[in-house]
Amino acid sequence: MYRTEKDVMGPIEVPADSYYGAFTQRAKINFQISGIKAHQEFLVALAIIKKAAALANMELKQLDEKLGNAIVNAADEVTEGKFDPYFVLDVYQAGAGTPFNMNCNEIIANRATEILGGKLGQYIVNPNNHVNMAQSTNDVIPTATRIAILILLKELIGEARKFEWSLRKKAEEFKPILKVGRTHWEDAVPVTLGQEFEAYAVSAAKDIERMIKFAEELKELGIGGTAIGTGITTHPKFHETIVRKLNELTKLELKTSKNLIELTQNYNCFVSFSSSLKMLAIDLFRFANNLSIMNSGPKAGISEILLPDVEPGSSIMPGKINPSIPECVIMVSFDVMGKDKTVELAAQYSILELNVMCPVIAYNILQSMKILISTLKMFRELCIDGIQADEERCRELLDKSTAIATALNPYIGYQVVSKIVKEALKNNNSIKETILKYGLIEEKDLNRILSPEEMTQPKEADKEIMFKIKNSEGYKKILENL
């Protein structure tokens, strides 16, 4: 069953029981691209804007209260999700997002018309004249995008903080475990496993602060600027009034702007915020990749840590277990980095008075936030919380490596240490064994020099030990052979 609606292009058939109307029906036919629909937070933000606009216009005596209250009630129902099935449009659509704006306008207009006793398509409440009063797609869609991001940010920050604290707990647990630190894929100097995890936690904390900082600019709203930011068709006090109403409805500390024209043209605030998501993704990639390397084995790799087993690793190799959770994290990280590039390119496409790429910006930022929330939760619960350290393996690799050599530099010098390292590698001996063989350092002094306290933090060399070494026959002998 269909009903016939008319618009400037002529008559069009719309499903009889549909809350959307002619504009949405045309857009639905035109833009069959991905099958991906707008995020829930975006739809909620749209409805909140329509409610705030009705409240502002009623306060300013621009909108009849009977019609305005019907819009408010209909917008509340949209916010509750009652009309989600009627938001049918693809995220890839006409520039600026006019189909999104009109889809919401038509749903609210039809529901408000019902509330007032009318029938679907009768439009006692008009989508353009009443629901869209003092608005344009050009200020509604970027405002909805900002509000949707800020709504979702609370969940993302909450999950990121849990992730950070999970890393900090592991840092404390692994505090005493000494291991090889590596640079350029080679043995470098000793580090504790706890120090590595503490560094990861600090990076996560910086990511959180960066997202919060870059979100601040999103709070400045261009709503009320209408088509190009001049505010045509609005009451002189509409901008400040609707921002106040939006704050009452959202508690997001939203701000008015002194230049709505600039906000209509410039979408760099989205680039900044998207870059903070990219930087979080870069860190997640780094964590996941490093954990996979340290977990490698179980017999022929590094195997300093043991990641939780979550699933069989192979369809052909019996007993093989892969770092499946880190691999998924890396996939998500790549996707977020790619979406950030889309946002960057879309923000460049500002032609004269308007950037028309807001729909693709909204989709990519909100999608990145959604998958990061789920990824942080998965990474924490199924990987980080269950990591175990193989302390014996960490010590074994450290003892076999050249990583402790640098700690000896203040005591016997770079050239002597280099000779010791070269000989140890040649004879397949440890550094410690080679030093004791030459009688360079007494074993108790060597143990002190090579203790975790001495090798993993700034520490002044022990002058008494230095004096004993420099006056030993072993040291004098090795110097003669350099």
Residues carrying an active site annotation: 314
Q: Which of 477, 412, 405 is nearest to 438 (CA)?
A: 477
Q: What is the DSSP letter of 309?
A: P
Identify whether the C-beta of residue 465 lies closer than 8 Å to the C-beta of residue 411.
yes
Helix residue ranges per DSSP H, 10-88: 22-30, 40-59, 65-79
Q: Is 305 exposed, middle or buried (0-12, 13-18, 19+ CB in 10 A)?
A: buried
Distances from the Cα of 390 to the Cα of 82, 165, 200, 222, 298, angstroms:
53, 22, 19, 56, 11
What is the C-alpha separation between 191 and 82, in angstroms, rounded? 56
CB 211 within 8 A of CB 280: yes
CA quadruple 162, 166, 167, 168: dihedral, nearest 10: 100
Q: How far apart are CA 6 and CA 249, in angstroms?
A: 35
Query: What stretches of 312-462 show up as alpha helix (H) in DSSP?
Result: 324-348, 358-382, 391-400, 409-412, 414-427, 431-438, 443-449, 452-455
Residue 186, Cβ density class (10 Å: 0-12 exposed, 13-18 middle, ≥19 buried): exposed
* CA separation for the pair 54, 48 (Å, rounded): 10
Bridge partner residues of 306 (DSSP): 388
Q: Are 111 and 83 in contact (CB under 8 A)?
A: yes
Q: Are the CB atoms for 434 and 427 separated by under 8 Å?
A: yes
Q: Which of 33, 228, 35, 14 is nearest to 102 (CA)?
A: 14
Residue 179: strand pairing partners:
191
| CA atoms in the 13 A half-sphere facing the CB of 441 | 25
Taking the C-alpha atoms of residue 250 and residue 102, their distance in angstroms, rounded to an integer, is: 22
| 91 phi and psi angles, rounded to 5 deg | -65, -25
C-alpha–C-alpha distance, residues 135 and 246, integer Å: 14
Residue 259 neighbours by CB under 8 Å, 6+ apart: 229
Measured CA distances, 179 to 240, 285, 445 (Å): 59, 22, 20
How many Å apart are CA 359 and CA 344, to the nearest integer? 13
